[in-house]
Structures are given as structure tokens and as C-alpha cells.
């Protein structure tokens, strides 16, 4: 699928069919997410693949009971291992670059899901401590996003965006 089409087609899909997602598709998604940019090439981003029903329910409870986390056959938890970003960049590495690195990898996951015919929803509204506990994250690994993935069972919701002209500034604000 042509890149422009992938970008235009991407939307958060929050309902999924029962059908499992093939491991090869998940591997292809991760192969591309792995190529995401990384501040100073510190590569803090890691991925946790969650298929276990008990773990999915615990993530659902840690993320404001968002149903897509229960319904998705697989969740990719994108996490940042700040033990790689902090030594070089200190607070900025831990609090800022680690998040941006994770966000870039997450967007590649969302785009690749479109290409693979999958629906995905990025969930960022969760309680960090609860998610960390469920995923058994060490204290230097921070959760960035929970990406629910499955074969879509709904059409993409349509949103009206702020017009682009209103968002473009020339030279200064």
C-alpha cells in the first residue's frame, strides 16, 4: 500500500474480530518499529507482547476500563528502558527523549497495522504504577503506550480536524 494511503487510512480502531493475529504479522510490525529514530541512538524502546487473558484484564483495569484492551487478541505494550537514555542525557533523557522514542515507535506500529490489514488503538490513558506492576517493569522502565491490535470489527470513526491553515505559522507564532 502506498505511503500516503496508509497515513490517510490510519485511525484508531477500537473494536476487533475474535480472530487471532498471526505471529508473522506481529513480527513484521516489530521489525519496522525497531527502525524508529532514537535520541542519540540510545535505543530505549522495548516491546511487551500481551496475549494472556488475565494480563489483558489487568491492563484494562489499569487503563480506565477501556474495552479495546480486553477485546484485542494482542496488545503491544511499548516501554522505554531509561537506563539507556538517562546516562547520556540525564533528566531530559529520562523524561522527554524516552517518551518521544516510544511515541515514534508507536506510530510506526500504527502505520504498519494499516498495511497489514489490522486495526489498532493507542491507549495512553492509564495509571503508570498499575501498568508497571502488571508488566513487572523494573523502576527504570517506563510504560509509554498500550497498543491494542486485532482484525477490525468497525469502520474508522470520522473526526473533523482543525483546519490546517489555522495550524501553520510563518517564522514565529
Ligand X SMILES: Cc1cc2nc3c(=O)[nH]c(=O)nc-3n(C[C@H](O)[C@H](O)[C@H](O)COP(=O)(O)O)c2cc1C
Look at the alpha carbons of 149, 68, 121, 37 in this order and tell me if their dihedral is positive or negative: negative
Neighbours of 172 (CB within 10 A): 4
The binding track of 125-154 with respect to ligand X, each residue x by CB under 6 A or -, is x-----------------------------
Whose cell is 498471526? That residue is: 22
Segment contacting ligand X (CB under 6 A): 23-31, 46-54, 116-124, 129-137? 116-124
Among 159, 160, 164, 173, binds ligand X (CB under 6 A): 159
Number of residues that bind ligand X (CB under 6 A): 10
Q: Mask 6-35, x = binds ligand X (CB under 6 A)?
A: -----xx-x---------------------
* Pairwise CA distance, residues 15 & 38, whole Å: 31
135, 79 in Cβ contact below 8 A? yes
CA distances from 136 to 59, 62, 139, 141, 170 (A): 12, 13, 9, 10, 46
Choice between 14 and 142, CB closer to ligand X: 14
Applying CB under 6 A, among 29, 36, 59, 66 the residue interacting with ligand X is: 66
Tell me which residue has its CB nearest to ligand X.
124
Return residues touching ligand X (CB under 6 A): 11-12, 14, 66, 121-125, 159
Amino acid at each position: 500500500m502506498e505511503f500516503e494511503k496508509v497515513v490517510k487510512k490510519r485511525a484508531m480502531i477500537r473494536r476487533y474480530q475474535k480472530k487471532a493475529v498471526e505471529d508473522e504479522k506481529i513480527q513484521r510490525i516489530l521489525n519496522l518499529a525497531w527502525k524508529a529514530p532514537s535520541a542519540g541512538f540510545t535505543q530505549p524502546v522495548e516491546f511487551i507482547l500481551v496475549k494472556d487473558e488475565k494480563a489483558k484484564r489487568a491492563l484494562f483495569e489499569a487503563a480506565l476500563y477501556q474495552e479495546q484492551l480486553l477485546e484485542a487478541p494482542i496488545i503491544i505494550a511499548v516501554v522505554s528502558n531509561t537506563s539507556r537514555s538517562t546516562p547520556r542525557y540525564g533528566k531530559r533523557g529520562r523524561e522527554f527523549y524516552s517518551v518521544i522514542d516510544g511515541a515514534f515507535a508507536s506510530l510506526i506500529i500504527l502505520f504498519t497495522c494499516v498495511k497489514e490489514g489490522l486495526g489498532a488503538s493507542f491507549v495512553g490513558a492509564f495509571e503508570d504504577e498499575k501498568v508497571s506492576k502488571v508488566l513487572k517493569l523494573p523502576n527504570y522502565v517506563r510504560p509509554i503506550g498500550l497498543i491494542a491490535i486485532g482484525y477490525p470489527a468497525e469502520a474508522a470513526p470520522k473526526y473533523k480536524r482543525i483546519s490546517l491553515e489555522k495550524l501553520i505559522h510563518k517564522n514565529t507564532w
